[in-house]
Structure 1
Amino acid sequence: MLEARNLAVEFASRGRRARAVDGVNLTVGAGEIVALVGESGCGKTTLARTLLGLERPTAGEVVYDGSPLGYRPRALKAYRRQVQLVLQDPMGSLNPRQTVYEAVAEGPRIHGLPDEEQVVADALSRAGLRPPERFFLRYPHELSGGQRQRVVIAGALALNPKVLIADEPVASLDASVRGEILALLLRLRADLGLSALVVTHDLGLAWNIADRVAVMYLGRIVESGPVEQVLTAPRHPYTQALLSVLPESPERIVLTGEPPDPTRIPAGCRFHPRCQVVASGRAAAAGIEQDCSGKALPVLTADPVAEVACHLIDTRVPSEPT
């Protein structure tokens, strides 16, 4: 349904070029949920904005349903009926002066959809706000955090999209509400056949909701594959470090070095300055330390098999039998 092909996005930053996205291949299939994970500043949100057409790529292309994305206003308007965004902060993404009805009706009005009231009622109902008429005249401050997030989801559903891009969809919610919103996204996939790209730093969320996971570091996917395979047997040192912070992890991995700077991408493996394999001497013992610091790694493909970009291991590994 949605694909990034060799996507790159650069920005000017203090006289230098910041490579926020630096060669990404990623696909979201029909009815599939893909989790894009990584720490803050790795390029996840920039990639999501580019897939939505909010940023134009410096190189590469976005492809929807087999056709490259066009950037003329009419083409973008038609595209955004099919691909909708769900933001992480419902209070920030809802206008406090608009009622729930006005917030959900905004998209249908822009696109000239008929039967506006019925469209709004159906969207609220599908988002779990029932009876929908009870919420029409309420304002965001009168709702709970979970209800506000459901209104945001209803605003996306009002256009009957095929793909949702959810940027940290439960990050601002209480733990008791998070499960409800994740269950809603899974139900929408089952009932409507929706595809989704879920952007998150939370590997626990990825485990609970995704079919596949892509791990991003400093503008590039460093490991991807079926969620069970990647998260139960992570091969890239960065994925291992991310998983080590989960409560059930037997060992905490503390990364060395500074947080990544997209204006100063290191040679070789971009993770090597912070890599625990290099810091512990295992890379030197394996005879790959020079490769880690000087030999570029290939860009991962969008193949559904498990892939990893690390000098210590093979790039591609076979998927586990289902």
Structure 2
Amino acid sequence: MTTTPATSTPATTAPLLSAEALEVTFPGRRGAAPARAVDGVTLDILPGEIVALVGESGCGKTTLARSLLGLVAPTSGRITFEGRPLDPSARAMKAYRKRAQLVLQDPSGSLNPRHTVYDAVAEGLRIHGHRGDETAAVAGALSRAGLRPPERFFLRYPHELSGGQRQRVVIAGALVLEPELLVADEPVASLDASVRGEILALLLRLRDELGLSALIVTHDLGLAWNIADRVAVMYLGRIVETGPVEQILTAPRHPYTKALLSVLPEAPGEPVVLSGEAPDPSNVPGGCRFHVRCQVFASGEAERAGVADACRTRDLPVLDGSGAGQVACHWAHSTAGEEPAQAPAPA
């Protein structure tokens, strides 16, 4: 983990992309209750900002990311891009996906082994009917992704490249359309440790040189420290803590965030072992949805703080997704001398 977090000053306070009270619910199997994969999420991404969306596998972060790209239809809520609601029509979505590109975690799986690097990068141009110089566009994208000279890679196939080179090809395929937003799902999870830093440095350089915004989906708070301006911690379909990266990683307030941080190699003390697996999103616990696994609740600290009953029975407000530090935790509010958090009564 680096000593100084990545920071950048966004060009404006107006969000590039916003999710407002977003919900994604999947039908239950064999008569089971519907699964609330994304449960009332509000989140902004500013121009030139990198936001890390962090949480365990199954917490809903990939579903949220895909819904922000229009790849998963939300059950309710609203997504806006540059202040305008997304138009779900096929034509409008095609235009939107040119400006907001997905970078998948496994380049081996996302690259067709029968396509050359040139064809892999040119595919987006052909889908969108690019009328300019295709060769120059592909060469420029490969060069920006760090594959130089680009012509040396044109006729190579994925199996002839290293893992890091394949991930750069995937990134080049997104860059060739000159997007304003990248959504990267675990962009370095499949790479060797020696290569991860190179890809993270590339993403930071692209932000600085091109003004790109990015949502980085990851389970690794250490990665967030190295690349993000802001962190949103997700648990069981909701954002439970959000704020500037330095604040979240040096002074976390939510017990779940603290547990995620405790397993980093540089973390002091013993890792926090959460009890059991995360609950099924079709059967979300009452009260605070984390309390059944919470180390603070289990240790009696919540009881001593006078909030154990609230943890068991009282839901928490949905965070509004602003850049300021926010936390959805009865115990965290009580230790800060704040009024206990309380969700608004149903309408």
TM-score band, normalised by shorter chain: over 0.9
Shift of residue 72, structure 1, vs aligned partner = 0.5
Distance 2:332 2:159 in 1: 52
Shift of residue 260, structure 1, vs aligned partner = 2.4
> Given the alignment of the two structures, is residue 149 of structure 1 paired with residue 155 of structure 2, yes or no?
no
Secondary structure, aligned partner of 1:272: coil
Secondary structure, aligned partner of 1:312: helix
What is residue 250 of structure 2 aligned with on the other side?
Answer: 232
**AA at the equivalent of 1:65:** E
Question: Which of 37, 52, 55 lines up with 2:54 in the alignment?
Answer: 37
Question: Which of 230, 237, 258 lines up with 1:219 in the alignment?
Answer: 237
Question: Which of 21, 26, 34 lines up with 1:17 in the alignment?
Answer: 34
Secondary structure, aligned partner of 2:333: coil
What is residue 276 of structure 2 aligned with on the other side?
Answer: 257
**AA at the equivalent of 2:234:** M
The 8 Å contact of residues 185 and 218 in structure 2, kept in 1 or not, is answered as yes
**AA at the equivalent of 2:135:** E
User: Structure 2 stretches of 5 or more lacking a match?
Assistant: 1-15, 337-347
Structure 1 vs Structure 2: percent identity of aligned residues? 72
> Given the alignment of the two structures, is residue 6 of structure 1 paired with residue 21 of structure 2, yes or no?
yes
What is residue 332 of structure 2 aligned with on the other side?
Answer: 313
**AA at the equivalent of 1:12:** P
The 8 Å contact of residues 3 and 63 in structure 1, kept in 2 or not, is answered as yes
What is residue 343 of structure 2 aligned with on the other side?
Answer: none
Question: Which of 63, 73, 76 lines up with 1:59 in the alignment?
Answer: 76
Secondary structure, aligned partner of 1:314: helix
> Given the alignment of the two structures, is residue 168 of structure 1 paired with residue 183 of structure 2, yes or no?
no
The 8 Å contact of residues 186 and 217 in structure 2, kept in 1 or not, is answered as yes
Distance 1:285 1:313 in 2: 13
Distance 2:115 2:97 in 1: 22
The 8 Å contact of residues 236 and 278 in structure 2, kept in 1 or not, is answered as no
The 8 Å contact of residues 7 and 22 in structure 1, kept in 2 or not, is answered as yes
What is residue 320 of structure 1 aligned with on the other side?
Answer: none
Distance 1:257 1:195 in 2: 36
Distance 1:13 1:142 in 2: 43
> Given the alignment of the two structures, is residue 82 of structure 1 paired with residue 120 of structure 2, yes or no?
no
Secondary structure, aligned partner of 1:20: strand
What is residue 286 of structure 1 aligned with on the other side?
Answer: 305
Shift of residue 13, structure 1, vs aligned partner = 2.6
Q: How does 1:121-140 map to 2 (within 5 A)?
A: 121-140=139-158
**AA at the equivalent of 2:107:** P
Distance 1:313 1:102 in 2: 52
**AA at the equivalent of 2:168:** R
What is residue 207 of structure 1 aligned with on the other side?
Answer: 225
Question: Which of 204, 223, 233 lines up with 1:186 in the alignment?
Answer: 204
Q: Could you list the per-position Cα deviations for residues 33-59 of structure 1 after superposition, in whole angstroms to 9, with x for gaps in the alignment?
A: 000000000000000100010011011
Secondary structure, aligned partner of 1:296: coil
The 8 Å contact of residues 41 and 260 in structure 1, kept in 2 or not, is answered as no
Query: What RMSD in Å do the two structures reach over aligned CA positions?
Result: 1.0
What is residue 276 of structure 1 aligned with on the other side?
Answer: 295
The 8 Å contact of residues 279 and 285 in structure 2, kept in 1 or not, is answered as no
User: Structure 1 stretches of 5 or more lacking a match?
Assistant: 318-322
> Given the alignment of the two structures, is residue 98 of structure 1 paired with residue 115 of structure 2, yes or no?
yes
Shift of residue 258, structure 1, vs aligned partner = 3.0
Q: Could you list the per-position Cα deviations for residues 162-183 of structure 1 after superposition, in whole angstroms to 9, with x for gaps in the alignment?
A: 0000000000000010000000
Distance 2:147 2:300 in 1: 55
What is residue 9 of structure 2 aligned with on the other side?
Answer: none
Distance 2:327 2:225 in 1: 18
Shift of residue 119, structure 1, vs aligned partner = 0.7
The 8 Å contact of residues 45 and 199 in structure 1, kept in 2 or not, is answered as yes
